[in-house]
Structures are given as C-alpha cells and as structure tokens.
C-alpha cells in the first residue's frame, strides 16, 4: 500500500468528509490504485517538457469590463438554507 | 546580543474595475448585501469564469510601474480552503506562474533612497464579507465583494524597521493611486497589508522563524504591530524561548498581537492549475502600449519638483502625495511663478481647509487660478499676508474671487504713508510712557508699537511701511 490510514483521514478532513471504518478501507484501496497508476506516468521522462493545459495551444479569452445585471436578491438567496435580511446565515465562524 | 528584524509585506490592492474579475457583476461598494452576485461569483456548478481585460491591464500597469518583468504566459491556480465567505471553496489566484516578478520600488529612509525588491505581483479574486453576530452564535454572509479583482504584491524580506515598512506601504499606495488602478482606501479595505516578521542576531545570514501578522488597517497600526512583534520576538530569543511559526492578529486597542490558534492553522491550500481557465497570455504589444502610457510616478515627480522648482524635498513630498495636489501646485505655479510661496500656501492654508484630505481637492471652492490671483495681490502689496489668510478663508466658503472680496470688505492694505504717519504718531502720543521706556533702551517695545499700529488700522496697514515709519518717528522723538 502506498497510502496509510492516517493519510486517508487527512484527505477526508480536507474534503470535510465523514468516513465509516469500512469506507476508509475501501477508499484507501481506491486511492492506492490511483497513485499506482500515476506512478506509471512518472516513468515518462518529462524533464525538458513544458507543462501543457491541453492538446491545442489556446489561451484564456477575455471579456470587456462591462457591468451586466446581477441576480435579484431573492434569486441570489433562493438556495440559502438560512437567511437573515438579505444575508446568508451560517453557524458562527471566527478564524 | 544585538538583534535585527527582517520584514516582508504582502499587500492586497483592489482594482478599480467596474465589473468583477471573472463575471459581469458590479464592484460597487456599499450596496445591500447580496445584491451584486450571479451564478459565477456564487460558485454554482456548471459556470465558467471569463477574465476581465481591464483587470489584466491594471495589473500590468502596476507591475511596469514597479519595474517588474511581465511573464508572457502565466497561469491561474485554485487555492483551496473552506470558509463561508468563499462560495466555491477555492479562490482563483496565481501560484507557480504569476503574471509579474522581480520588481522594486524606491523608499526614502534616514540613510537615503533604498530599493525594496518585489518578489511578485499576481492576480486573484476577493472573498465575501462576514459579519459576526455579537449575541447569537451565527455569522452573516454578504457575497457582493466575492470575485472583485485584486492584485497581491509580495515584497522580498528586505525591510528592516517598522518605519521602512510604513514608507514602503506609502510608496506602493502612492503609485497605485497615481496609476488610477486602486483607490488606496485602507479603512474600506481596498488596500490591505499582512506582514511576515522574524528577528535574528545581527550578522547571522539565515532567517529566524517568522510569524505572520494580520489585521492592520492603517499605516500607523502597521508600524505599531511590527514594533510590538519585533520586541516580543527579541525578548523571547533573549530568554531562550522558541518562536512559534504562526499567524497573529493585531489588536489596535491594546497595541499587541495575539496568536490565532485556529484549527485551520496548518493550511493545506492544495494549489493546482485551475482547469476552468486556460493559461493567460499577455500580448507583448499590450505591455509596450501600457509602458508608453505610464504617467509620471510619485518619486519621479518629487525629484523633478526639487530640481525644477528648487523647493525643499519635504515640500515636494507633501505636494506629490496625490496627483491632483501636484497638478494644483503646477497649475498655480504657471500663473504665479514663485514656487516656495505657492508651496507654503498650499501646504498650510489650503491643506488646513482640506483638513489634510487631498481627496477634498476636487470639491474645494478655490481653484488654482484664484489662489494665483490672491498671491499676486499679496505680492503687489495690495493686501498683507495676514489679511490674505482671512480672504482665503472667505474664498473657501463662498468660492468668491479675491479682488472682489477685498473690495467688498474694504481690506485693501493702507500703503499711503501720509495716512500711516498720522496713525503712527497717534499711537506714540497715546503711549508716551512706553515711548520713554523705549528711548531709555527697552528695544523690545518696538514690537508693541507695531502691534498697536496694526490694531488701529484693523490689520490693513502695510507692515513694512509701518516698520519704516516707526523707526523714523521714534528717532525723531529721541531728539527731544
């Protein structure tokens, strides 16, 4: 195994996922398969090759700095599980 | 053992675009919460970000003004973290390949001009705003600011003192404001700063363990926070205590910093290239065009003011603090070419009226033409400098022309020596006791006589003429 239980726990924490013990075993095996597969790619010599975003040479398009209408406040808040006034309301978080 | 501080600063500047970085929502400040959002800045699945061309142009403008190299190809990356002000759970930023690198800005220090290196300038988007309820365990989220374009300017760890840090920030802010790419407002958060600070024994090459200090929303607080942190770290090292690498918040009420001790302390941002955005290419022709159109920058303007007009460096620094003030000075000077006199009037009387806010200049009732007219009237002896101050105040409140105010209020200086001689004689006659004492050698009383004559003339007497006449009249009386 390339990946430890502890690493599975850490990845789950970063992704805010709660995993049951049997899920941990299952995902550990899956993550392990993925990493092994990636190792295959690592065998290709790429020392002098520029990283590439796609097979065609394209760059990000840009738009003009023009304001267009936003969502109405009601639409903007329509998926909110909780709101106060026109703000989303969430459990208190202070970093 | 002597210790020295090593400071690096990270500055976030909000760009003055009309629309957001990756969507067309307005960037207007102060709107009702969540009135400026759309599926893109709310992070809805299936949307795609498209870069604002102006945001790129502003970034390039700042980068060139700070002597940076522009990378023709750069890349947007996702910075991942969970926080309610960030609806996508990642911030679009730049990581391995920023748009600009290797620049510098000049700052004034006690030992002369010093260059502070810039590691990089990159583009990113702002997060939303959280308001924490004081009574209930809830926070309120406003996503209006989410997606507003920012640049992050990262300095090399080359700053040595809190004073240098404040100077560096002033220099950066002045450049941003001169370029019209950021309004530089620290209170509203459009110009924000975090600091990395460490101390080490003088002479040691390697860097000490650093802390990151946040929550400093004025130049003064940056200085206070850094001084506190340097003293704290130096004290700890002297006592053999280790420095913990951590983020610390500055508390402006106590002037101290305190550890944040949050669970998210060990950030793992998992940066990776944003698959929604192709690599960014900056056309060399665009860079050339922006470079050609750069305005004169604050440090250049300051140098020119000293050389061309012969005013002191201090005056030049005050006058070039904003482009508007510098333009006001130059326009007045075209009409009244005595630099030091113009500079004095702007720095004292005009700045007093503006209450130190250069931004008030646009709404100031006195235009350069009117200030020049007033200075000409002083120069011609029509009014005294003292009366001129009162006239200036009137000009500021009514917007009137100086000549009109002077005529209306009958403030024309009395330079008629016959009338003044009469006034001088009357003052001396009324103060025979003082005249005797003066003639007996109490020279200091001369000022008293000047004051009395000025008072009798309601401030309108020509002071130089009063002086001359008093000398003459007192000498005449010494013969008796």
Q: Indicate if the pLDDT at residue B352 is higher than 70.
A: yes
Q: Are residues B51 and B164 in the same domain?
A: yes
Q: Are residues B271 and B323 in the same domain?
A: no
Over residues B63-71, the mean pLDDT reads: 96
Q: Are residues B215 and B276 in the same domain?
A: yes
Other beta carbons within 10 angstroms of residue B201's beta carbon come to 12
Which of B53-62, B207-216, B397-406 shows the lowest per-residue confidence on average (mean pLDDT)?
A: B397-406
Q: Are residues B54 and B185 in the same domain?
A: yes
pLDDT score recorded for residue B64? 96
Q: Do B78 and B99 contact (CB within 8 A), yes or no? A: no
Q: Look at residues B289, B309, B343 and tell me which one is the last residue of a structural domain.
A: B289
Q: Are residues B31 and B161 in the same domain?
A: yes
Most confident segment among A34-38, B402-406, B429-433? A34-38
The encoded tokens of residue B369 equal: 């033409």
pLDDT score recorded for residue B78? 95
* Domain extent at residue B402: 296-409
Q: Are residues B362 and B343 in the same domain?
A: yes
Per-residue pLDDT tens over the stretch B179-236: 999 999 888 889 999 999 999 999 888 888 899 998 888 888 999 999 999 999 999 9
Q: What are phi and psi of A48, to 5 degrees?
A: -110, 25
Cβ separation A85–B33 shorter than 8 A: yes
Q: Are residues B155 and B267 in the same domain?
A: yes
Cβ separation B143–A66 shorter than 8 A: no
The residue ranking higher by pLDDT, B284 or B415, is B284
Max distance between CA atoms of chain B, in angstroms, equals 105
Per-residue pLDDT tens over the stretch B140-178: 999 999 999 999 999 999 999 999 999 999 999 999 999
Q: Look at residues B237, B267, B289 and tell me which one is the last residue of a structural domain.
A: B289
Domains in chain A: ranges and CATH: 5-42 (1.10.20)
| Percent of chain A residues topping a pLDDT of 90 | 52
- Please tell me the pTM assigned to this model: 0.79
Contacts of B262 in chain A (CB under 8 A): 95
Closest B-chain CA to A75: B38
CA dihedral B305, B377, B369, B322 (to 10 degrees): 40
**Between A14, A16, A61, which is nearest B50 by CB?**
A61
* Long-range CB contacts for residues B78-82, cutoff 8 Å, separation at least 24: B78/B270, B78/B271, B78/B272, B78/B273, B78/B274, B79/B124, B79/B269, B79/B271, B80/A14, B80/B269, B80/B270, B80/B271, B81/B264, B81/B267, B81/B269, B82/A16
**Between A53, A66, A86, which is nearest B24 by CB?**
A66
Distance CA B360, CA B428 (A): 47
In this prediction, residue B267 has a pLDDT band, given cuts at 50, 70 and 90, of low
Contacts of B56 in chain A (CB under 8 A): 62
Q: Are residues B221 and B86 in the same domain?
A: yes
Q: How many CB pairs under 8 A join A and B?
A: 125
Helix, strand, coil share of chain B (percent; to 5): 40, 20, 35
Q: Indicate if the pLDDT at residue B264 is higher than 60.
A: no
Distance CA B220, CA B255 (A): 11
Number of domains in chain B: 3
The encoded tokens of residue B187 equal: 């209170």
- CATH number, residue B424: 1.10.10.410
Q: Which of B33, B79, B269, B286 to mutate to test the interface with A (most CBs of A within 10 A)?
A: B33
- Residue carrying the six token digits 């946040």: B214
Q: Indicate if the pLDDT at residue B262 is higher than 60.
A: no
Over residues B253-272, the mean pLDDT reads: 76
Cβ separation B25–A61 shorter than 8 A: no
Q: Are residues B174 and B79 in the same domain?
A: yes
The encoded tokens of residue A61 equal: 């398009």
Q: Are residues B426 and B388 in the same domain?
A: no
**Between A16, A61, A92, which is nearest B138 by CB?**
A92
Give how far B369 is from chain A: nearest CA, Å.
37
Q: Which of B21, B30, B33, B34 to mutate to test the interface with A (most CBs of A within 10 A)?
A: B34
What distance lies between CA B164 and its chain's CA centroid?
A: 15
Q: Are residues B103 and B226 in the same domain?
A: yes
DSSP class of B60: H
Rounded to two decimals, the ipTM of the complex is: 0.83
Give how far A81 is from chain B: nearest CA, Å.
12
pLDDT score recorded for residue B90? 94
Q: Look at residues B409, B431, B458 and tell me which one is the last residue of a structural domain.
A: B409
Over residues B287-298, the mean pLDDT reads: 93
CA dihedral B361, B363, B365, B370 (to 10 degrees): 40
The encoded tokens of residue B163 equal: 């004073």
Q: Indicate if the pLDDT at residue A30 is higher than 70.
A: yes
In this prediction, residue B265 has a pLDDT band, given cuts at 50, 70 and 90, of very low
The encoded tokens of residue B204 equal: 């040691």
Q: Do B171 and B155 contact (CB within 8 A), yes or no? A: no
| Percent of chain B residues topping a pLDDT of 90 | 48
pLDDT score recorded for residue A82? 94
Closest A-chain CA to B139: A92
Q: What are phi and psi of A25, to 5 degrees?
A: -60, -45
| Percent of chain B residues topping a pLDDT of 70 | 97
Over residues B398-416, the mean pLDDT reads: 77
In this prediction, residue B263 has a pLDDT band, given cuts at 50, 70 and 90, of very low
What sign has the CA pseudo-torsion B387, B389, B395, B397?
A: negative
Q: Are residues B103 and B228 in the same domain?
A: yes
């Amino acid at each position: 195994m390339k990946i430890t239980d502890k690493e599975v726990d850490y990845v789950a924490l970063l992704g805010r996922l709660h995993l049951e013990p049997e899920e941990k075993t299952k995902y550990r095996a899956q993550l392990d398969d993925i990493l092994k597969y990636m190792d295959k790619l690592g065998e290709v010599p790429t020392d002098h090759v520029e990283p590439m975003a796609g097979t065609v040479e394209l760059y990000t398009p840009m738009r003009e700095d023009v304001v267009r209408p936003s969502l109405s406040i009601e639409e903007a808040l329509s998926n909110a599980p909780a709101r106060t006034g026109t703000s989303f309301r969430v459990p208190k978080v202070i970093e | 053992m002597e210790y020295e501080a090593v400071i690096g600063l990270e500055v976030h500047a909000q760009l003055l675009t009309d629309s957001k970085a990756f969507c067309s929502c307005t960037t207007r400040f102060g709107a009702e919460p969540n009135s400026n959002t759309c599926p893109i800045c709310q992070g809805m699945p299936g949307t795609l970000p498209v870069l604002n061309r102006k945001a790129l142009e502003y970034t390039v403008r700042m980068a060139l003004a700070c002597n940076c190299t522009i990378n023709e190809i750069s890349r947007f990356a996702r910075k991942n973290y969970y926080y309610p002000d960030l609806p996508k759970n990642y911030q679009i930023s730049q990581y391995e390949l920023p748009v600009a690198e290797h620049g510098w800005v000049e700052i004034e220090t006690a030992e002369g001009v010093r260059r502070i290196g810039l590691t990089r300038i990159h583009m990113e988007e702002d997060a939303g705003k959280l308001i924490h309820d004081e009574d209930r365990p809830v926070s309120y989220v406003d996503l209006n600011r989410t997606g507003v374009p920012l640049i992050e300017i990262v300095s090399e760890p080359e700053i040595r003192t809190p004073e240098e840090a404040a100077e560096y920030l002033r220099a950066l802010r002045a450049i941003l404001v001169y370029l019209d790419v950021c309004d530089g407002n620290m209170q509203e958060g459009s110009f924000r700063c975090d600091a990395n600070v460490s101390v080490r024994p003088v002479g040691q090459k390697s860097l000490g363990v650093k802390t990151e200090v946040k929550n400093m929303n004025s130049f003064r607080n940056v200085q206070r926070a850094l001084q506190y942190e340097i003293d704290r770290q130096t004290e700890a090292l002297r006592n053999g205590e280790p420095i913990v690498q951590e983020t610390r918040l500055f508390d402006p009420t106590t002037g101290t910093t305190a550890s944040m001790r949050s669970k998210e302390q060990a950030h793992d941002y998992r940066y990776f290239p944003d698959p929604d955005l192709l690599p960014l290419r900056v056309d060399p022709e665009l860079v050339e065009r922006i470079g050609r159109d750069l305005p004169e920058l604050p440090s250049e303007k300051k140098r020119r003011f000293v050389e061309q007009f012969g005013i002191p460096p201090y005056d030049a620094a005050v006058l070039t603090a904003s482009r508007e003030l510098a333009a006001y000075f130059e326009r007045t000077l075209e009409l009244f070419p005595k630099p030091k006199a113009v500079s004095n009037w702007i720095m004292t009387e005009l700045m007093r009226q503006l209450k130190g806010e250069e931004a008030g200049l646009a709404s100031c009732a006195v235009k350069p033409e009117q200030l020049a007219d007033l200075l000409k009237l002083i120069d011609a002896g029509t009014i005294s400098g003292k009366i001129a101050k009162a006239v200036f105040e009137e000009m500021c409140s009514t917007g009137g022309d100086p000549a009109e105010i002077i005529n209306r209020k009958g403030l024309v200086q009395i330079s008629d020596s016959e009338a003044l001689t009469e006034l001088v004689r009357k003052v001396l006659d009324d103060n025979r006791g003082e005249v005797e004492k003066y003639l007996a050698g109490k020279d200091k009383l001369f000022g008293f006589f000047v004051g009395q004559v000025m008072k009798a003339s309601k401030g309108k007497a020509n002071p130089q003429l009063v002086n001359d006449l008093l000398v003459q009249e007192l000498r005449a009386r010494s013969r008796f």
